[in-house]
Amino acid sequence: MQIEGKRAVITGAAGGIGRAIAALYLREGAQVFLVDRDAARLEAAVSELGGGRSGKVQGLAIDVTQEQAVADMAAAAETAFGGIDILVTCSGAISETEIEKMSLAEWRDIMSANLDSVFLACRAVLPVMKRQGAGRIVTVSSQIGQRGAPRFTHYAASKAGVIGFTKALAREAAPHGILVNSVAPGPVLTAFNRDLRPETLDGTEAALPLGRAAQPEEIAGAALLLASSPHGDVFVGQTLGPNCGDVMP
């Protein structure tokens, strides 16, 4: 059990990748505090993972782009488990629009969902981790933030921002015993991309060197590595790329 007894907060926990990370963390001995703004999906995730039976799973439905809600969430998680050892920021949003047709509102919606949410969650848990003298933060970015993609300028900018934010925070937090890193998945078989254009999705898997997209469970292992000890003890400001070969830094 690589994270036995650790207390993890996972945002976007009702989605495919977030739920897979939560399930793996539980199997490896952690307690998990699941956060998502979709209350119905969150309730299903908590129930599926054993909430109410083991005492190791709790959930809270909030909008992670709202400052006070995120601050209250961090306080609730600390109260529930007595501390916060791990934060995984898995919440996010995506849309597909040519830049000439993109409204400022759409730009801001994606930036808020993908970047503001990370800032708010990290800022909220850092005081808790500093008091403990240790912690792990795993941000979830994207390979599109590394290489870009047409019709995804807003999404690419937000995820590139997450990577830059991760590097800067890693330098700020490491002296306090808090290690901050990112996981940048490639295409993953979840409902996240369900609203993208068919022509965007067609041929995506065949174009990957691996010849297929990833399953959520295959992404979760990277988040476990970065949260574990001793295997994750020297990762600082890194971006791991479980992307089926789409990006080769």
Residue 248 lies inside a defined structural domain of this protein: no
Mean pLDDT of 191-201: 69
Task: Enter the tokens of residue 103.
Answer: 């409204």
Residue 249 lies inside a defined structural domain of this protein: no
CA distance to 37, 64, 121, 155, 212, per residue, from 204 (Å): 29, 30, 32, 17, 8
Residue 61 lies inside a defined structural domain of this protein: yes
Residue 246 lies inside a defined structural domain of this protein: no
Range of the domain at 61: 7-240
Query: Long-range contacts made by residues 190-199, C-beta under 8 angstroms, separation at least 24?
Result: 190/15, 190/16, 190/17, 190/216, 191/15, 191/16, 192/15, 192/16, 192/17, 192/92, 192/94, 193/94, 195/94, 195/95, 195/96, 196/94, 196/96, 197/96
The amino acid at 192: F
Question: When comparing pLDDT for 110 and 191, which is higher?
Answer: 110
Residue 2 lies inside a defined structural domain of this protein: no
Interval 1-44: pLDDT, tens: 789 999 999 999 999 999 999 999 999 999 999 999 999 999 99
Mean pLDDT of 108-116: 98
Residue 84 lies inside a defined structural domain of this protein: yes
Catalytic residues: 155
Look up the pTM and report it: 0.95
Mean pLDDT of 228-248: 96
CATH number at residue 117: 3.40.50.720
Question: When comparing pLDDT for 192 and 4, which is higher?
Answer: 4
Residue 199 lies inside a defined structural domain of this protein: yes
User: What is the number of domains present in the chain?
Assistant: 1
Contact 26, 53 (CB under 8 A): no
Residue 1 lies inside a defined structural domain of this protein: no
